[in-house]
Homo-oligomer: A and B are copies of this chain.
Amino acid sequence: MAAPEQDEERETTVETVDEEELYGPSEELLENVSAALAEGDIPQVETLIEDLHPADVADLIEHLAPEERKLFVEITRHVIEAETISHLDETVRDEVVEQLGPQAVAEVVGELDTDDAVELLEDLEPEQQQEVLQSIPAEERILLQQGLTFPEDSAGRLMQRELVAVPSHWTVGETIDFLRAAKELPDDFYDLFVVDPTHKPLGSIPLSRAMRSPRLTRLTDIMETELRLVPFDMDQEAVAYLFKQYALVSAPVVDDAGRLIGVVTVDDVVRVIDEEAEEDLMRIVGASDTDFHAPAHLIAWQRVRWLVVTLINTMIAATVISQFQDTIQHLVALAVLMPIVAAMGGNAGVQVITVTVRALATRDITPQSNVLRIVGKELIVGFLNALVFAAILGVVASIWFGHVELGLVLAGAMIFNMVWAGFAGTLIPLLMDRLGLDPAIGAGPFLTTTTDVLGFFSFLGLATLFLT
């Protein structure tokens, strides 16, 4: 919609943002909504949320207690905006969609841009999805059904079908006249795409450039011709990389024949960047990347996987220790000191592996990087730190137990384990990446197994050799 309709003095809400009140619904709003819900005061609830941005209403819904949430959705079901639903986190959105029923959800879907609509649809149960789709007009339904056939997390899922494509023989003036007359345009767009008669992109024109050019200018004279076309099946991580690398605000998506079928806009990419960074983080520590509102038993189940890995790891470590029971019996101080070697190696290793995984994700390391140089640097880092801590701990242990040889053994094991941490922390993710595996998955738990096992083995092994 181009021009708002009201003619009277427009109500403006230009205000400077206060960082203190930026995040989430205010305490006051939450209390007022809760109170109004408790009293069943429907008009009051509607008044309270009337001026809120849909994203803020979504936050409000997420902050309500489950019972309140249900009531809130029931009360506001006829005024709730499509945008609000699309902003909800997955778990809460599922609940709300379930509660609204297919007919209402179909209306919501109809109001959204195709990218948001597909995102909402893809999370539904197959039957629910069918029910909703059947309530949508044929023309749009076909686009949505096609959207659902694109691979998950691909450019095709991310793109919206609404875009502005103009023929190459037009001038700036003709384009502006077209835009002024056209009814079916995206709410917001940032680039015009110049296409040939077969709908293949020839170039793009940032709106700012089009607006600055005289009416008679031919589009082909001002279009950006260094155009990077995104194949519909490109992974969203790659799309995000394109946007970051070339500071894009929108990018054209093409089908197998090279025809323009959609456009990815930067707001979707911002979401992807956030998601991918979170995914890396969660995978490194071995937590799941489900959303924050998932129920306890589901979260517990998703974390079990990496706890099982940890369990196996520690069993291996325990087996190693058990080989040295006689040595420990002979010198119990070993049992006191052995966790130090394992923990220092583990911690140093997790630092290294996190840096490496992140460098792979941000493409600071690429297949063309010099692996020897990268591993070499971490070996030096590991060795420098190992020397410092081995010296400190060697002295501490010598004094504590009045046993200089014990201090030396501890220092030796420390150096060995921390250098290993630097080596394995770089090499393991690099190898996994070369093998086409996600280097982030369980990197932490996996690495700490090796530092535990090697830490116990080197320390107890050296002790057996030199102290008994």
Q: Is A97's beta carbon under 8 Å from chain B?
A: no
Contact status B370-A65, CB under 8 Å: yes
A21 to chain B, nearest CB (A): 10
Contact status B11-A222, CB under 8 Å: no
A313 to chain B, nearest CB (A): 7
User: Which residues does chain B contribute within 8 Å of A190, judged by CB atoms?
Assistant: 190, 207-208, 249
Q: Which of A346-363 contact B (CB under 8 A)?
A: 347-348, 350-352, 354-355, 358-359, 362-363
Q: Is A45's beta carbon under 8 Å from chain B?
A: no
User: Which residues does chain B contribute within 8 Å of A285, judged by CB atoms?
Assistant: 284-285, 350-351, 354, 444
User: Which residues does chain B contribute within 8 Å of A297, judged by CB atoms?
Assistant: 380, 384
* Other-chain contact of A282, B271, B354, B363 (Cβ < 8 Å): B354
Known contacts A258-B16, A314-B344: does B339 contact A221 (CB below 8 Å)?
no
User: Which residues does chain B contribute within 8 Å of A287, judged by CB atoms?
Assistant: 350-352, 354-355
Fill in one digit per residue for A366-401: 1 if any B CB lies within 8 Å of its CB, else 0. Answer: 111110010001001100110011001100100000
A33 to chain B, nearest CB (A): 11
User: Which residues does chain B contribute within 8 Å of A245, judged by CB atoms?
Assistant: 53, 55-56
Q: Which of A392-444 contact B (CB under 8 A)?
A: 392-393, 396, 444
Interface centre among A3, A65, A89 (most CB of B within 10 A): A3
Q: Is A139's beta carbon under 8 Å from chain B?
A: no
Contact status B368-A26, CB under 8 Å: yes
* Other-chain contact of A321, B213, B336, B347 (Cβ < 8 Å): B336
Known contacts A254-B16, A332-B325, A380-B300: does B22 contact A241 (CB below 8 Å)?
yes
Classify the interface of chain A: helix, strand, loop or mixed: helix
Give bound CA distance, A380 to B294, whole Å.
13
Contact status A344-B311, CB under 8 Å: yes
Contact status B311-A228, CB under 8 Å: no
Fill in one digit per residue for A242-259: 1 if any B CB lies within 8 Å of its CB, else 0. Answer: 111111110000100010
User: Which residues does chain B contribute within 8 Å of A310, judged by CB atoms?
Assistant: 343-344, 347
Fill in one digit per residue for A266-277: 1 if any B CB lies within 8 Å of its CB, else 0. Answer: 110111011001
* Other-chain contact of A17, B225, B234, B389 (Cβ < 8 Å): B234
A84 to chain B, nearest CB (A): 13
Instruction: Closest B residue to A354 by CB, please name it.
Output: B285
User: Which residues does chain B contribute within 8 Å of A328, judged by CB atoms?
Assistant: 328, 332, 335
Contact status A16-B315, CB under 8 Å: no
Contact status A3-B217, CB under 8 Å: yes
User: Which residues does chain B contribute within 8 Å of A226, judged by CB atoms?
Assistant: 12-13, 53
Interface centre among A59, A248, A311, A313 (most CB of B within 10 A): A311
Contact status B318-A359, CB under 8 Å: no
Known contacts A13-B226, A212-B179, A329-B329: does B231 contact A300 (CB below 8 Å)?
no
Contact status A343-B452, CB under 8 Å: yes
Contact status A13-B225, CB under 8 Å: yes
A325 to chain B, nearest CB (A): 5
User: Which residues does chain B contribute within 8 Å of A89, judged by CB atoms?
Assistant: 364
Give bound CA distance, A340 to B55, whole Å.
45
Give bound CA distance, A311 to B341, whole Å.
10
Contact status A380-B296, CB under 8 Å: yes
Q: Can you list 7 A-B pairs with a CB-CB distance of less than 8 A? A: A15-B229, A24-B366, A180-B214, A281-B354, A285-B285, A285-B354, A286-B347
Closest A-B pairs by Cβ, 3 of them: A24-B366, A277-B277, A12-B225
Question: A190-B190, A285-B351, A287-B351 provided; 18 other pairs, C-beta below 8 A?
Answer: A12-B227, A14-B229, A15-B227, A19-B231, A24-B363, A53-B226, A62-B364, A63-B370, A281-B354, A281-B358, A286-B351, A303-B348, A306-B351, A307-B344, A307-B347, A310-B343, A311-B344, A343-B448
